[in-house]
Copies of this chain bind each other. A is one copy, B any other.
Amino acid sequence: MTKEVHFLPDDVKITVDDNENLLAAAAAAGVYIHAYCGGDGVCGKCKCKIEQGEAGVSGPPADKDGFRLACQTTVKGDLVVSVPEVVSKDGRALKRKPKTTRAISARSMSELVGSWQLDPPVEKRFVKLTPPSIDDNTPDLQRLLGEISKGCRDCAEPTYDHPQLLQELPATLREADWQVTVIMLRGKRSEEPDRIIAVESGDTSDRLYGLAVDIGTTTISGLLLDLNSGKVMAEASAYNEQIRFGEDVISRIIYAQKPGGLEDLQEQVVRTINKVIENVCQQVIISPSDISYIMAAGNTVMSQLLLAINPKYLREAPYVPTCSQMPLTRAAAIGVYAHPSVRLFLYPSIASYIGGDIVAGVHACQMHKSPALTLFIDIGTNGEIVVGNRDWMACAACSAGPAFEGGGIRHGMRANTGAIENFHIHPETLDPMIVTIDRTKPAGICGSGLISIVSELLEAGVIDQQGKFNRRLDHPRIREGYDGYEYVLAWAGDSLIGEDIVITEVDLDNLTRAKGAMYAGYQTLLESVGMTFNDLERVILAGNFGAYIDLERAICIGLLPDIDREKFYYLGNASLTGCQISLNDINRFRDRVEVRKLMTNMELSENPQFMNHYMAALFLPHTDMDQFPTVREKLPS
């Protein structure tokens, strides 16, 4: 459920989830309230007054004017909220325009992924067999196959697993008094026969579950689905335990070359998947053996590591993956907690750095069915880009570097508790409004926080378009440090880590290179097919990071193109959504083959055009300001 919050006096409205923190809601709406403790309730600055509607309140009581702390307030119903006017040094109220377009996200997901049938690729069928007699002593298996094929003249006889299924079949049939439930995988293509993977005693057809898994380099997320109803029963995620062998894919590839390294890496990713399985199963009190199908997607390195296929050649030119389609594997064979016959499907890869997660995402949002020219973006250490429509798709990866994940940034961190995720700056006092994840004192800066900070500093003229601090400003928060000039986001006493949290010119430089690589990637891909940004009808932001991007600010720093905001869509964890849809609907599942066939990879690393575009993009937002008309307007001249 969502609620609307109407901020006064700015007259800005925002739709937020139930129980959203009011300080975070204000920050998302672009409403400045002075706040430097991140939402921890200690700086006592973030005053607000509930004019109308229901709010959850804690912390100190309201003052005599009815103001209380926004960070200690949650949204329970539609609200009208007053915040102190932002005034200039001379006391004049500063009028501001809303800075966000996040509201689009609420509708875009379902619009993109469309609807699906409940017609899963795994099926349970309860059958009552006629017991054998001397006049009909057909073999057990043929008796079962015959019953299943009854009333289906044209369908191919199902195939079946072995050896375990056959070894258990005679006893199962007799113990169950010839009444059993058959678990069948539907044929890969409609003309292919189904495959019996297990036979269970009695009628178990009411228990049919599937697991969708996104295997990220950092995080592994799972959804438990009831395939009889299509409902999501539980969600869980866990850090990929491969992290102990390296933070990014390159360090994992290197580790895989050590003796036993490949096995270690496989073991750890499987261990993490098992954690997720245990977690979701505990939530709804089922056994992992009740899961009948697992569908997963991951980048090419994660996919190969899961199957213990050495990823060595993925990082050596000419960057060759071992295979495109990943073999359908018995989950238990690689150690996953599952019934021995349950299959694990992995989305196919396109290239070394365009993996199954991207294919699953493109599959989920049905780019392959739309005539609209679409740019699909997944931003991370490796940014993946797909351009195209139902007729063709070009894709490429660009090595953006780890800035968006906190890497190479002095106080960078992952999007965990204490990470600054939103930021506004008072245009005159230059005082910060800091919102952290989980509303604690700030501990560092995550990707979305970094974009907020840089765009705010740029708009306020604290930094220039080359990412250098305005040395004429005399402000205690702007100072020269050992990495050049820096802005103090939080003083040591206000921070969780007991030291000043700053953003430096080196940080700005790293971010500029990261966003520059992405932008140059879009341009190069579009050009390669004779298109420009103006031809784009849709831009889809996929991935967890994409879901937290503030559009205006991302455009402001040049990470996204400056085009009509209505063309942007947030897709979230598209890889997981792809798996979810495929588990629900076999026709959507079978469709994935089309996606893989449409996608053509382009190597940017050795492309001279890409290098030109990249050099031109090493500016905030860009050297060619004609490409960023709305940003030009709002930047100080």
| A contacts, CB < 8 Å to B | 132-134, 136-142, 160, 162-163, 166-167, 169-171, 174, 307-310, 312-313, 317-324, 327, 329, 333-334, 349, 351-352, 601, 603, 606
A136: chain B residues at CB < 8 Å are: 318
Do residues B133 and A310 form an inter-chain contact, with CB atoms below 8 A?
A: no
Do residues B134 and A349 form an inter-chain contact, with CB atoms below 8 A?
A: no
Do residues A162 and B351 form an inter-chain contact, with CB atoms below 8 A?
A: no
Kindly provide the distance from the CB of A131 to the nearest chain B CB, expressed in whole angstroms: 9
Q: Which of B141, B160, B327 contacts A163 (CB 8 A)?
A: B327
Interchain residue pairs with CB less than 8 A apart (27): A132-B318, A132-B320, A136-B318, A137-B320, A137-B351, A137-B352, A137-B601, A139-B320, A140-B313, A140-B320, A140-B321, A140-B322, A160-B327, A162-B329, A163-B307, A163-B308, A163-B309, A163-B329, A166-B307, A166-B323, A166-B327, A167-B307, A167-B309, A169-B322, A169-B323, A170-B309, A170-B322
Known: A137-B603, A163-B329, A170-B312. A142 touches B324 (CB 8 A): yes
Kindly provide the distance from the CB of A352 to the nearest chain B CB, expressed in whole angstroms: 7
Kindly provide the distance from the CB of A170 to the nearest chain B CB, expressed in whole angstroms: 5
Kindly provide the distance from the CB of A462 to the nearest chain B CB, expressed in whole angstroms: 43
Most chain B beta-carbon contacts within 10 A, residue among A174, A319, A327: A327
New contact pairs (15) apart from A138-B320, A140-B313, A162-B327, CB-CB < 8 Å: A132-B320, A133-B318, A134-B603, A139-B323, A139-B349, A142-B324, A163-B309, A163-B334, A166-B307, A166-B322, A167-B307, A167-B310, A170-B309, A170-B322, A171-B310
Q: In the complex, which residue of chain B has the Cβ closest to the Cβ of A142?
A: B324
Q: Which 8 A-B pairs have the closest CB atoms?
A: A162-B327, A141-B323, A139-B321, A137-B318, A134-B318, A132-B320, A139-B324, A137-B320
List the number of copies, as a whole number. 2
- Rounded to whole angstroms, the CA-CA distance of A320 and B132 in the bound complex is 7
Kindly provide the distance from the CB of A581 to the nearest chain B CB, expressed in whole angstroms: 25
A140: chain B residues at CB < 8 Å are: 313, 320-323
- Rounded to whole angstroms, the CA-CA distance of A170 and B323 in the bound complex is 9
- Rounded to whole angstroms, the CA-CA distance of A140 and B167 in the bound complex is 37
Majority secondary structure of chain A interface residues (helix, strand, loop or mixed): loop
A327: chain B residues at CB < 8 Å are: 160, 162-163, 166
Known: A308-B167, A310-B171, A329-B163. A134 touches B317 (CB 8 A): yes
- Rounded to whole angstroms, the CA-CA distance of A332 and B173 in the bound complex is 29
Q: Which of B170, B321, B603 contacts A313 (CB 8 A)?
A: B170
- Rounded to whole angstroms, the CA-CA distance of A105 and B485 in the bound complex is 103
A601: chain B residues at CB < 8 Å are: 137
Do residues B141 and A324 form an inter-chain contact, with CB atoms below 8 A?
A: yes
Q: In the complex, which residue of chain B has the Cβ closest to the Cβ of A333?
A: B163
- Rounded to whole angstroms, the CA-CA distance of A317 and B131 in the bound complex is 12
Q: Which of B141, B317, B318 contacts A322 (CB 8 A)?
A: B141
Most chain B beta-carbon contacts within 10 A, residue among A133, A170, A174, A312: A170
- Rounded to whole angstroms, the CA-CA distance of A141 and B133 in the bound complex is 50
Kindly provide the distance from the CB of A247 to the nearest chain B CB, expressed in whole angstroms: 25
A320: chain B residues at CB < 8 Å are: 132, 137-140, 170
Q: In the complex, which residue of chain B has the Cβ closest to the Cβ of A323?
A: B141
Do residues B166 and A309 form an inter-chain contact, with CB atoms below 8 A?
A: yes
- Rounded to whole angstroms, the CA-CA distance of A142 and B163 in the bound complex is 30
Kindly provide the distance from the CB of A523 to the nearest chain B CB, expressed in whole angstroms: 20
Q: In the complex, which residue of chain B has the Cβ closest to the Cβ of A144?
A: B323
Most chain B beta-carbon contacts within 10 A, residue among A319, A322, A351: A322
Kindly provide the distance from the CB of A61 to the nearest chain B CB, expressed in whole angstroms: 64
- Rounded to whole angstroms, the CA-CA distance of A506 and B552 in the bound complex is 104
Q: Which of B166, B308, B310, B319 contacts A137 (CB 8 A)?
A: B319
Most chain B beta-carbon contacts within 10 A, residue among A141, A308, A603: A141
Q: In the complex, which residue of chain B has the Cβ closest to the Cβ of A321?
A: B139
- Rounded to whole angstroms, the CA-CA distance of A118 and B310 in the bound complex is 39
Kindly provide the distance from the CB of A100 to the nearest chain B CB, expressed in whole angstroms: 41
Kindly provide the distance from the CB of A624 to the nearest chain B CB, expressed in whole angstroms: 29
A319: chain B residues at CB < 8 Å are: 134, 137
- Rounded to whole angstroms, the CA-CA distance of A628 and B321 in the bound complex is 75
Kindly provide the distance from the CB of A398 to the nearest chain B CB, expressed in whole angstroms: 15
- Rounded to whole angstroms, the CA-CA distance of A327 and B136 in the bound complex is 23
- Rounded to whole angstroms, the CA-CA distance of A260 and B136 in the bound complex is 31
A322: chain B residues at CB < 8 Å are: 139-141, 166, 169-170
Kindly provide the distance from the CB of A456 to the nearest chain B CB, expressed in whole angstroms: 41
A312: chain B residues at CB < 8 Å are: 170
